Each structure stands twice: as C-alpha cells, then as structure tokens.
Structure 1
Amino acid sequence: MSTVAAEFGALYGAAPDGVWAAPGRVNLIGEYTDFNEGFVLPLALPHTAVAAVSRRDDGVLRLHSAEVGGGIVQLDVETLEPLSGASGYGWAAYPAGVVWALREAGHPVTGADVHLASTVPTGAGLSSSAALEVVTALALNDLFGLGLSRPGLAVLAQRAENAFVGVPCGVMDQMASACATEGHALYLDTRDLSYRQVPFDLTARGLCLLVVDTRVKHALGDGAYAERRAGCEAGARALGVRALRDVPATQLSDALARLDDETVRRYVRHVVSDDDRVERVIALLDAGDPHAVGALLTEGHASLRDDLRVSCPELDLAVEAANAAGALGARMTGGGFGGSAVVLVAADRAEEVAAAVGKAFAEAGFAAPGVFPAVPSAGARRVG
C-alpha cells in the first residue's frame, strides 16, 4: 500500500488523502443467475485493486494505472458521458464510470486524483473490473462523505459497468467485492440484495479450493453475455414471471415444455437448475458437509457447457483433468469463454491435482495455466 501512495506522490506531487483496496472474487456456484434475480455464492480473493486518491473541487478527474501503459488520463467530470462511447476511455472507463454514476445519482463528486494498482488477473473471470469500480466508489464515498452503504456502493458500481462501460452484468461481482468478509462466502439474494456471510473454512475440513486460470482472455462486452441475458429475459416473459428466479426447480420440466425456442429453453434450464444448486450447496455447508459440494460443482459445469454454452476447450480440460486426478469436483467460474475454473480438492492432493491439470494443458498444446488457492478474504476497505 505504501508503494501505491509513493507512486501517487511521484505522479501528482503530493501525498494522497488516503488509500483503499477492493478485492476480486471467485464464484463458488450460481452463474448467470444474478441478472435473473437469483442466488449466488461468491467469495473475495486476496488479490485486490488498490487506489490512492485525493479529492479535487475543480471538476477535474485525473486517472492513472500502474498496469496500463500511458500517462495520466485527464477528464472533466461535467462532460463524462457514456453515449460518446465509453470504449474511447479504455481502462479508465471503469473509474470514470463510477464518477459518472455517482453524479447521475445526485452525489456531489467534484473531481479527484486517482492512482490505481491491481493484482487481480485481468480477463480471468475474477472480476478485475468490479474491483476497480468498487475501490473507486469506496474512496469517493469516504472523501466526499456520501454516506452510502456497501450494497449502495455496489449498485452504483454495477450501474457504471452497465450504463457507462456497456456490459450488462448483474450485481454479484460488485456485491462480493464490497461486502465479503474474511473466512466466509457471500450467500446473496440478488433480488433484494439481502445476504448472509457463510463460514467457509475449508482448511479446517482438510480441503482446498483451487483457481485454475486458463490464461484464455474473455471479453464479455462482445455480445455473447448480452445475448444470453436477452434469452433469459425472453424466457421469463414467455413463462409469465418477473424473472427466472420465480420458476421453482420442481416445476422446471413443465416450464420447459411451454417454451418453443430451443436456445431459450437451454438458458432457462441452466438458470433454474443453477439457482437450485446454490441452495443445495448452502444446505451442505450449513450441515457441515463441504466435501459433498464437489459433485454439484461438476454438475454445474456440465450445465454451463451444454445448456448455456459459455465454456471453452481449456475450461473443459481443466475440469476433466482435475476430476480425473482425484478432485472432489470442478467447474468453470465467471462469465466463461475463457477465464478460470474452481476445483474442490482434499488439501493433501492439491499439488497432485494442480500438476495433473498442468500436464494435461501441456499435452493439449495449451499455454500453462496459473493455479492458486482461493482463500476467502476481506471485502473493500480503507488501508491507508
């Protein structure tokens, strides 16, 4: 954190008013359910976006990233406008979008100097963008005394990504980054944003959750995510419900029989069954039986692969190789088309399983994956 503050001083000629951090996340179960007002179960990672920030009162917003080449991006808060094409802002669209969303909501944000550094892998399905948004929102909330709650910050960060950046994501990523706590998974109802911190101490049970970063970069702004969201919304309309969350798993067969479009039928089957998987996982965790969660992870991957069709050869191989090497279960996590998988494994077999996945990737001619344990970590906070 002191490095980020020092870099800020070198850039802007003065110490920052403060330093904040917000984590990336990995989602244990519940994929593409958040924009269907359903259930999700993410946990925060130790990887964070860190922001050194100072308040300005002259309407100037200056942004700098330690990871992205180029100098300081200078913008006018009065002229921030998504309709001009947020893609023109590049990486700066994420923090700039937060400033725009806060001002659109009536909050008097009058400018800032921002220096960002992140250890969240980009394009890995671990919510690097949400970490940037949430850390910016938290810093500005503190510096301008806005008094927003953590869920309130998450909703504004989601609006920045939806309306400014142009990715129609649900609220899970921002809620996980803003609200998660160390040692817990976040059981979130995305309809009303109620949540419960679920103890998730796998070490005490002799287990480990691995993240396998396939190194395949996904880009959710390319239309595939939006197409699936539109298909889910079409399914809800056809079934006469507000959202697919309102279709009980016990009535799924009847609901599917009422749908004529095969693509919509597949999407509905995935969402309704994945909502049910979240609740089944929660029941297992509450009962103290995390070992049994593995089978539901693998079941969820098959649904994402076959019904939602958002997997890719590298993700499928990661899941297959991990399970063949003795993992309890595995699935892709995040938006798909690349990114990462999660693997539940006995702690004493974690290295063996990781090695097996690496060997399978090498034999397939794929780039070596990154593998690391997912340690449930703290959500967004001030660190300096």
Structure 2
Amino acid sequence: MNRCETPRRLVRARTPLRISLGGGGTDIDPYPRDHGGIALTIAIDLYAHAELIAHHEPAPFCVESRDLNRSVSFECAQDLELTSDLDLAKAAIRRVAPHTLRDGLELITSSDAPLGSGLGGSSAMTATMLGALHHYIGDGIDHQSLASEAFEVERLDVGLAGGRQDQYACVHGGVNLIEFDGEATVVHPLSLDPAQLDNLERSLLLCDTGITRVSSPIIERQVAAYTRRDEDVTDALHRIKAAAFEMHDALLAGDLPRLGAFLDASWTQKQRFDPAVTNPAIDALYSTALEAGAYGGKLLGAGGGGHLLLLTPPERREQVAQRLAAVGGTPRVVGFDLEGFVAWDETL
C-alpha cells in the first residue's frame, strides 16, 4: 500500500483502552432503560492508533489493519457495504467522510493490545478512526459527541453486541463514573488528588490469561436471559450496580481493601450471567492472585478470556505478578491516561 511520492498531510490519532472497575453489564440494553446503569472506569496507557495519510491525488481510499494483517480499498459507495471485512472502518468512513473515497487517503490502524483482550479495544479503535476522519475534514467534534458516534457505529451500523461504557470511558479518558439512563449517557469525572491517583496506579495489575474470546455470544445470552426475566441474572445485575456505587465511595476515600472486596463481590455476581464467563484456567489464576496477597479482582470484558484486573497492596504487587507468571499468566503493569482521544497533524 506504500506510495512512492511524499504525502502532503499526515494526521495521527489515538484513543486509550480502559479498565472497568464496576457496573459492567448494567450498561447493556435493555437493563439501563429499565433500571438505569452505572460504570466505574479508568482509561489506561494502552492505545488504539490511527494514521491518516493524505496524498491529494485521485486514488482509492485504502485501509490497512496491522492487527488483522488485512487491507482493502474503496472507490465508490458500494464498496462501503458491510460484509464482515473491516466493517468498522467502512462504517466510520460512511458516517464521516464518504466524499473522500477518491482523494488518495490511507488509513492505517494498530492497537497496543490483542483482539479479545477485554480492554475495550474495539470501541477505542472505532473512536480513533472516527476522530481521525473528523480531524482531517476539520469539523471539530467534541469528546461526548465522538463517544456517541462510536457507539452508534458499533451497535447500530455494524450491529456488534455490547454496552455503552467502552466508548465513553475510552474517549473521555481519566477516572469516571458513567451513568446510563434510558438513551442518555452522563460522564462524571472523579476528582482524585495526585497522591490518590498514584496509590491506585501502583496497586493495579493486569494479567493476560492467554485466552482470546469473542464477547458477543456471552452478551447475547445475558441479554436474552434478562429479557425473559431470569431472576438469577436480573438479581446479579442489581447487585453489580449496587457494588459499583460502593466502589465509587471506596475509591474517593482511598480505601483500597474495601475497593478490592467489592471487586471480588462483583466478579462473583458476574459469573451468574453465563457459564462461559469463567473457566478452570481463569479460576486458577484468580485464586493464585488472592493467595499471593491481592485484595480482589475480576475478569475484564464480557468474560471467557482476556485480562484479569487485580487490586493489590502496592508493596505486594510484584509478588503477585511473580506468582501469576509462575503459573502461566502474563502480568502487566499499566498507567493511567487522563487525556482521552487526541488527534494532531504531524509535520512532514
């Protein structure tokens, strides 16, 4: 896809991935329409990246996904029909910039985390592509509007199963309490002082389970169970919502043991959604972390694989990481991202 001539403009964009402390599942319709949902989230310093290269010559619009090792070219509106081949990119172009299909653009994407990681990567990538296109055409979209548009592209245009938290958590960045009330989504940034942020950052640990998963089957079964008023799933959602408020209070108070206890309680409730949420390998990693001194934790995303999130005393995080590595996990320390989505022109 490389071209010989020097490009005339280069736009770069990135959106952080996220970890969800609490409320996961209550952001998935129809639950928030019936009861209101909540999510307590933190954006982290792993990113979905995009480069938008403008050659300003008549040529197809080229998209390359480095994660999927796949590239496609679009020349007309029919090329943007959704066919399960880079559909998120097609939908983003169709939403924002269909008039650029013959302007000689290249959109190159990559992510710092693998597919199926449970870190909101699909939503972060959708927002990054949309935001890069908006920056290129110069229409100045704000964070809230970008998150809303990313939700519509994923859930409505492409039809991917899921909730609302990822788009807003990733695009806004920082530490947020996000409320879902009917069709409204309200982001409340949490005012944590630098010492609180530092202590929390030094206490969190990710662990890649080594298991990749597709989230949509689990989410679809959860929605079906709630829709038919399955008492077990409905009660679990209510308890997860209540625990998220408790975590919010513990976070503001700097009470890490209490925060860890409610993380553990939420993980127990999440397993009531569907048998595929966990498996013996995930359970073994989690038990190892607790035995090594972690306060608590949970599996991120819909379940079935991806990353465990663990909260530890800062002085015991390294010990927990070593124990997890010894039993086959891949521990990873991450920092926080307080900016959210950003895009800029790079000087050529």
Does structure 1 residue 288 correspond to structure 2 residue 254?
A: yes
SS of residue paired to 2:213:
coil
1:187 to 177, 186, 206: 177
- Asked if structure 2 preserves the Cα contact closer than 8 Å seen for 1:332 and 1:340, the reply is yes
Residue aligning to 1:78: 77
Partner letter of residue 162 of structure 1?
R
Shift of 1:308: 4.0
Say how many residue pairs are matched: 327
In 1, Cα distance between the equivalents of 2:253 and 2:236? 25
- Asked if structure 1 preserves the Cα contact closer than 8 Å seen for 2:199 and 2:314, the reply is no
1:66–1:277 CA distance, 2 compared to 1 (3 A):
same
Superimposed CA distance per residue, residues 166-196 of structure 1 (whole angstroms, 9 cap, x where no aligned partner) = 3221121111111113xxx111012322111
1:199–1:208 CA distance, 2 compared to 1 (3 A):
farther
Taking every aligned residue pair, what percent have the same amino acid on both sides? 21
Does structure 1 residue 94 correspond to structure 2 residue 88?
A: yes
Residue aligning to 1:317: 284
Shift of 1:227: 2.0
Does structure 1 residue 68 correspond to structure 2 residue 84?
A: no
SS of residue paired to 1:146:
coil
In 2, Cα distance between the equivalents of 1:29 and 1:14? 44
Does structure 1 residue 197 correspond to structure 2 residue 189?
A: yes
- Asked if structure 2 preserves the Cα contact closer than 8 Å seen for 1:187 and 1:196, the reply is yes
Does structure 1 residue 233 correspond to structure 2 residue 227?
A: yes
Shift of 1:320: 1.4
Residue aligning to 2:207: 212
- Asked if structure 2 preserves the Cα contact closer than 8 Å seen for 1:108 and 1:144, the reply is no
Partner letter of residue 63 of structure 2?
L
1:19–1:275 CA distance, 2 compared to 1 (3 A):
same
Partner letter of residue 67 of structure 1?
D
- Asked if structure 1 preserves the Cα contact closer than 8 Å seen for 2:22 and 2:244, the reply is yes
Residue aligning to 2:13: 20
Superimposed CA distance per residue, residues 256-313 of structure 1 (whole angstroms, 9 cap, x where no aligned partner) = xxxxxxxx21211121111111111111122332331000011111111234442222
In 2, Cα distance between the equivalents of 1:197 and 1:98? 27
Superimposed CA distance per residue, residues 18-64 of structure 1 (whole angstroms, 9 cap, x where no aligned partner) = 11111111111111111132000121121112111146797943101
Shift of 1:206: 8.6
After superposing the two structures, state which structure 1 stretch, 41-50 or 111-120, moved more: 111-120
Shift of 1:358: 2.5
- Asked if structure 1 preserves the Cα contact closer than 8 Å seen for 2:89 and 2:126, the reply is yes
Partner letter of residue 369 of structure 1?
G
1:270–1:308 CA distance, 2 compared to 1 (3 A):
farther
Q: How does 1:293-312 map to 2 (within 5 A)?
A: 293-309=259-275, 310-312=277-279
Shift of 1:217: 0.4
SS of residue paired to 1:217:
coil
1:219–1:382 CA distance, 2 compared to 1 (3 A):
same
Partner letter of residue 190 of structure 2?
V
SS of residue paired to 1:227:
helix
Does structure 1 residue 274 correspond to structure 2 residue 234?
A: no
**Structure with the larger helix share:** 1
Residue aligning to 1:380: 341
Q: CA RMSD in A?
A: 2.5
SS of residue paired to 2:286:
helix
Partner letter of residue 187 of structure 1?
L
Shift of 1:126: 1.1
Shift of 1:77: 5.4
Superimposed CA distance per residue, residues 117-165 of structure 1 (whole angstroms, 9 cap, x where no aligned partner) = 2212321111221121011111111122334331221122122222344
In 2, Cα distance between the equivalents of 1:125 and 1:63? 24
- Asked if structure 2 preserves the Cα contact closer than 8 Å seen for 1:214 and 1:339, the reply is yes
Residue aligning to 2:49: 50
In 1, Cα distance between the equivalents of 2:288 and 2:210? 16
Scaled by the length of structure 2, the TM-score of the pair is: 0.85
In 2, Cα distance between the equivalents of 1:167 and 1:299? 28
SS of residue paired to 2:220:
helix
SS of residue paired to 1:170:
coil
1:297–1:143 CA distance, 2 compared to 1 (3 A):
same
In 2, Cα distance between the equivalents of 1:337 and 1:154? 26
- Asked if structure 2 preserves the Cα contact closer than 8 Å seen for 1:62 and 1:113, the reply is yes
Q: Which ranges in structure 1 are unaligned for 5 or more consecutive residues? A: 1-7, 236-263, 362-367
Residue aligning to 1:128: 121
Residue aligning to 2:159: 166
1:68–1:13 CA distance, 2 compared to 1 (3 A):
farther
1:118 to 111, 120, 124: 111
Does structure 1 residue 370 correspond to structure 2 residue 330?
A: yes
- Asked if structure 1 preserves the Cα contact closer than 8 Å seen for 2:81 and 2:90, the reply is no
- Asked if structure 2 preserves the Cα contact closer than 8 Å seen for 1:43 and 1:180, the reply is yes
Q: Which ranges in structure 2 are unaligned for 5 or more consecutive residues? A: none
